[in-house]
Amino acid sequence: MTRRVLVTGGAGYIGSVIVDQLLERGLSVFVLDDLSTGHRDAVARRASFVQGNVGNGELVEALLGQERIDAIIHMAAFALVPESVAQPGKYVTNNVTAARVLLEAAVRAKIRRFVFSSSCAVYGHPAVIPITEDSPQAPVNPYGETKRDFEKLLADYGPRNGLGVVSLRYFNAAGATEQRGEDHDPETHLIPNILAVALGKQPAVSIFGTDYPTADGTAVRDYIHVVDIADAHVRALEVSLDSGAPVAVNLGTGAGQSVRQVVEVARRLTGRPIATVERARRPGDPPALVAAVQRAATVLGWRTKHSSLEEILESAWQWHRAHPQGYRGGGEGT
């Protein structure tokens, strides 16, 4: 049984919701985050917070030992496809090299479970939709390459050393809770950008690519509520692994939505017009990414409960209206 969990990147958008759910279940939670993209105010006060990078071996080793950590949820990484195309070295250094320091420390500290925040970006341009976990891995951007590379390192090295490994390949995380929401600078993600237009903070949302081989020509993604993603991590801490073998699991709904469909639902829910501008495709973007969800049901006993596009957009809309400046306007501090 896991009692004391380290969440790296726990000050980030998804990590902060995971921290809340772990605390609700009575676990002791430790957050390691260098605040390069996260927010101190996104971390629940009941969690212990350490500011630092996962590549700092001394710090990580001391934390794992002194706090008697028994499981790690590793979220700390850079996660923007366009930025990874512009600065691939930055992604390798943080997402692979620094993460490896954490992995080695985890093995030395005899941690029992390592849950890794991976991505559907490992699949690249999939030939078949929905995408099963056994589909070929051929990332089309440096971000996806770093996720594939660290997953492989983890799967090769962890179990041989007694570490139980679960990699969760998220599709498109979206939505909010009352207290935690998406606040990136710069914001590149579709849903917060749409809502910024609805709030009058931006004049129009860009539609990147209208000539994809999809029903309406815009790119298709599988949007999944951050609350459902967090729930999968909590489950992944306890699932029993077949002879200790590493496992990779998609987290998605199994249904895709086009950029235009997301804009339409947002218009309906917010009652705001939401102007759009059609632009060229964004480099590194595959046309369609939709998860096959069977393995998540079998391995984690998990299915989405909050991931209708309506619930995702409604929750995000509430959060952005309550926090128009994001965490800079003062977080909840709870």
Site residues (vs ligand UDP, CB under 6 A): 81, 172, 188-190, 193, 205-208, 219, 221, 259, 282, 285
Kindly state the smallest distance separating residue 95's Cβ from ligand UDP, in Å: 15
- Whether omega before 186 lies within 30 degrees of 0, making that bond cis, reads yes
Kindly state the smallest distance separating residue 182's Cβ from ligand UDP, in Å: 10
At how many degrees (to 10) do helices 309-322 and 259-270 cross?
60
When the beta carbons of 124 and 246 are compared against ligand UDP, the nearer one is: 124
Strands (E), the chain: 4-8, 28-33, 48-51, 71-74, 113-119, 164-170, 172-174, 205-208, 220-221, 223-225, 247-251, 257-258, 276-279, 288-289
Is-contact 197 262, C-beta < 8 A? no
When the beta carbons of 282 and 306 are compared against ligand UDP, the nearer one is: 282
Q: Which residues have CB under 8 Å from 235's CB, separation 6+?
A: 300, 301, 302
When the beta carbons of 17 and 44 are compared against ligand UDP, the nearer one is: 17
When the beta carbons of 43 and 262 are compared against ligand UDP, the nearer one is: 262
**Shortest-Cβ-distance residue relative to ligand UDP:** 219
**Can 143 be counted among the known catalytic residues?**
yes
Kindly state the smallest distance separating residue 108's Cβ from ligand UDP, in Å: 34
Is-contact 209 79, C-beta < 8 A? no
When the beta carbons of 228 and 285 are compared against ligand UDP, the nearer one is: 285
Q: What are the φ/ψ torsions at residue 7 (nearest 5 degrees)? A: -110, 110
When the beta carbons of 4 and 282 are compared against ligand UDP, the nearer one is: 282
Cα distance between residue 174 and residue 167, in whole Å: 19
Is-contact 34 53, C-beta < 8 A? yes
Kindly state the smallest distance separating residue 271's Cβ from ligand UDP, in Å: 21
Kindly state the smallest distance separating residue 55's Cβ from ligand UDP, in Å: 24
- What's the order of all strands across the beta sheet hosting 257-258? 257-258, 220-221, 288-289
When the beta carbons of 76 and 101 are compared against ligand UDP, the nearer one is: 76
Single out the catalytic residue among 143, 212, 223, 327.
143
Cα distance between residue 91 and residue 98, in whole Å: 10
* Distance in Å from the first CA to the final CA of the chain: 27
Kindly state the smallest distance separating residue 173's Cβ from ligand UDP, in Å: 8
Burial class (CB in 10 A: 0-12, 13-18, 19+), 32: buried
Cα distance between residue 241 and residue 239, in whole Å: 6
Kindly state the smallest distance separating residue 44's Cβ from ligand UDP, in Å: 26
- CA 107-109-112 angle, to 5 degrees, is 65
Residue 109: which of 163, 147, 148, 155 has the closest Cα? Answer: 163
Q: So which residues are the catalytic ones?
A: 143
